[in-house]
Structure 1
């Protein structure tokens, strides 16, 4: 199926690995022009190098970062049609999971909201005028299933993502009549560096359970989260949904939330 994305100008944040990298790759395959935003590049991103890809080395946790990334896109390709707010997770220097509400300080909360909510707010604020100038656009915010099913773990992260999910619906109401569609994709546990890298979530859980990393990823987490599929989600499975949502094929889809979560939420 042709997603009609050829020549569309896209900005993807958190693009150097995981869901962001998979989304960048997928949009490029569909013919889009993509600005990939991350603090630094990566081997995976370097493999995608070509005339339709520009890397913007921007720190989105800095208040000016999102606006700089949007301006970078306008300068590189002349406008903006698609914004994918994927950057999120542990802020630089933080480790998740955190267990219990009292484990996060005020500074932890501020850093979490800066990276997971305010960076998206600022990117959207900068992007909307460019999209309106081109007659519309599509925004996808990457939230989390924990925005709707919170737990006494990563409380600050869950609250920030709940704010992002709510923001999506408000924006869809305000800007839908002007041609800008805004949707949410809420992943469950995705097999990304957040889980798999040394010192990541799998290692933290392994230290608490006495298991090894592979057992945590392949058995303990799927059982703990009661995942219907019995496995973590793959980044490409998120990217495929994002690509469809930003496509003109989804012209009547706005203000919606799509859970790609291996059956975690057990939605009716």
Structure 2
């Protein structure tokens, strides 16, 4: 299917791996010119036609630098995908409310909420000019923040709310804003024994594959499996294509959340 994105320009945050890398590849396949910002440049990202910018998007300076460099490179921005997040175990900050230091909350909000807020604020004048589109990558954790990791989930709740605010304010100016909220995705977070799931499995003294299987059984997705990064990327691309969707929060969790 031709999504009508050929010739567009895009900024994707956190495009070096996982969901972000899948979004970069999908948009390029649709004929989009892409600039992506992340803390590092992976070999997989180098293999794409995207223009990588090395920045720390948990800082105000990183957001400004990314949009300034992207605007110069692309001549203008039609699309923004705020995806950055979950760089390492510290980004999850495991523990109960009284266990987490303020630094853990600050880090999670800087990475998962303020990065999107700052990049969006820098990009929106150009998006308004071009009647563009914006997608935020949140999480089903935003809808069940108490299930933990709580700092991560609460920061994603704020991100989901931000999408609603931006859709209401900038929709009349021609900019559509939507959110994609995946459940567990088959990135290194769940598939790498050295990642989040592996570290938790080690702390519980059980094999990694047994922990992942047990976690899936508890979450009970109707499909019985993890979502793939490519499935998230295709959903993002559809939301960015010409349509009348705005202010939506699309669950992509295989049926884990069953509330109406």
TM bin, normalised by shorter chain, reads over 0.9
CA positional deviation for 1:164: 0.7
Equivalence for 1:45: 45
Task: Please list, as runs of the form range in 1=range in 2, the aligned pairs for 1:107-256 lying within 5 A after superposition.
Answer: 107-134=103-130, 136-217=131-212, 219-248=213-242, 250=243, 252-256=244-248
Inter-partner Cα distance in structure 1 for 2:138 and 2:221:
18
* Preserved contact between residue 97 and residue 201 of structure 1 (Cα < 8 Å): no
User: CA-to-partner distance for each residue in 1:72-94, whole Å, 9 max, x for gaps?
Assistant: 1110010000000000125x671
Instruction: Give the aligned partner of residue 78 of structure 1.
Output: 75
TM-score (norm 2): 0.95
CA deviation map 1:93-128 (0-9, x unaligned) = 715361322221101101110010001000010011
Deviations 1:53-80 (A, max 9, x none): 2111111012211111111111001000
The one-character-per-residue Cα deviations of 1:17-43 (angstroms, maximum 9, x if unpaired) are 000000000000000000021111112
Range that drifts further, 191-200 or 5-14 = 191-200
Tell me how far apart the structure 1 counterparts of residues 58 and 193 of structure 2 sit (CA, whole Å). 23
What secondary structure, in the 3-state scheme, does the structure 2 residue paired with 1:80 have?
coil
Q: Is the 8 A contact 1:101 1:153 kept in 2?
A: no
* 1:229 match: secondary structure: coil
Task: Evaluate the alpha carbon distance shift between residue 215 and residue 24 of structure 1 in structure 2; reply closer, same or farther with a 3 A threshold.
Answer: same
Consecutive unaligned residues in structure 2, runs of 5 or more:
none
Distance in 1, Cα, partners of 2:32 & 2:250:
22
Report deviation, 1:209: 3.6
1:13 deviates by: 0.5
Q: Report the number of matched residues.
A: 260
Q: Does 1:261 align with 2:253?
A: yes
Q: Stretches of 4+ moved more than 6 A in 1?
A: none
Contact 1:97/1:204 (<8 A) preserved: no
SS at match of 1:37: strand
Q: Tell me: CA distance 1:152–1:131, structure 2 relative to 1, closer, same or farther (3 Å).
A: closer
Structure 1: gaps spanning 5 or more residues: none
